[in-house]
């Protein structure tokens, strides 16, 4: 969602503190009800500034558009627990099974990049984790179960685009749970080699970059992941 779509034109942008405006941009990038509510709060607290700038009509228009957007945006599902998630994905046999599974929405809440495999709009952008997060400490067996789930659904996912979003989901998940890469050399090397496989096929890799660009992501995402892995694998060998 762009700011102009809710009525935030150049003359009204200057009303906000830079921090408030940047937060509005950030919140509207992800079209979530909770984010829209936060933007409504930011707009509302600046009502006096709109009045001083003789832009109360614009203020009312922006709030009206935001409330309409809120009304038309589906509420987010609550994230199921990790234990419940593992139970759900343990029952998935292939991509078709995921497509037909009654728990699909709950599973996709944990792995939002997979939503693009099921027709999610490019306008709904989800963060891809590039920098490693090491605070979490999932058991290796749990992480392996999640990766096996991804590989199972990749086998019959139907299109190259689906395979790309599944591979992005794998490494997004790994980088959100990077502790095991730091502490398990064998696991780190296995994940690194699989990443190199994705990159080594030149035709596929060029298509990967075109899909990343089409959906508004950094086309060098895989290379950035590769650089982190190389540094970690080399560190493990010291």
Domain-located, residue 117 = yes
pLDDT of residue 12: 59
Is residue 77 in a domain? Answer: no
Which of 71, 92, 116 is at the close of a domain? 71
Is residue 80 predicted with pLDDT exceeding 90?
Answer: no
**How large a percentage of the chain has pLDDT more than 70?**
83
Domain end residue (candidates: 15, 42, 71): 71
pTM, two decimal places: 0.68
Q: Find where tokens 């096929």 sit.
A: 201
What's residue 1's pLDDT?
47
Domain that holds residue 186: 82-237
Q: Tokens for 193, please give them.
A: 């080699």
Q: pLDDT confidence of 92, banded at 50, 70, 90?
A: very high
Give, as one character, the DSSP assignment of residue 44: H
For residue 73, name the pLDDT band (cuts at 50, 70, 90).
confident
Can you list the alpha helix ranges (DSSP code H) found in 80-159?
82-89, 95-100, 104-110, 140-155
Nearest to 176 by CA among 136, 141, 210, 230: 136
| Residue 76 in domain | no
20 versus 87: which is more confidently predicted? 87
The verdict on residue 16 lying in a domain is: yes
pLDDT at 3 over 80: no
Clarify whether residues 45 and 147 are in a common domain: no
């Amino acid at each position: 969602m762009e700011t102009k779509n809710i009525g935030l034109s150049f003359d009204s942008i200057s009303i906000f503190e830079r921090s408030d405006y940047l937060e509005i941009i950030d919140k509207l990038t992800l079209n979530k009800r909770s984010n829209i509510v936060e933007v409504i709060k930011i707009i509302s607290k600046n009502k006096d500034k709109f009045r001083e700038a003789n832009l109360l009509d614009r203020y009312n228009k922006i709030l009206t558009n935001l409330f309409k957007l809120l009304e038309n945006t589906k509420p987010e599902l609550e994230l199921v627990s990790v234990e419940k998630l593992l139970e759900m994905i343990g029952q998935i046999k292939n991509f078709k099974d995921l497509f037909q599974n009654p728990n699909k929405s709950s599973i996709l809440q944990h792995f939002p990049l997979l939503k693009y495999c099921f027709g999610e709009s490019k306008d709904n952008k989800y963060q891809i984790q590039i920098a490693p997060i090491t605070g979490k400490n999932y058991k290796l067996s749990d992480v392996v179960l999640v990766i096996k789930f991804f590989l199972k659904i990749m086998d019959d996912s139907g299109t190259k685009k689906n395979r790309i979003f599944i591979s992005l989901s794998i490494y997004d998940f790994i980088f959100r749970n990077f502790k095991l890469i730091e502490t398990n050399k064998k696991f780190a090397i296995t994940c690194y080699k699989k990443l190199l496989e994705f990159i080594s096929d030149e035709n596929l890799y060029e298509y990967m970059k075109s899909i990343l660009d089409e959906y508004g992501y950094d086309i060098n995402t895989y290379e950035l992941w590769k650089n982190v892995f190389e540094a970690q694998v080399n560190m493990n060998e010291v």
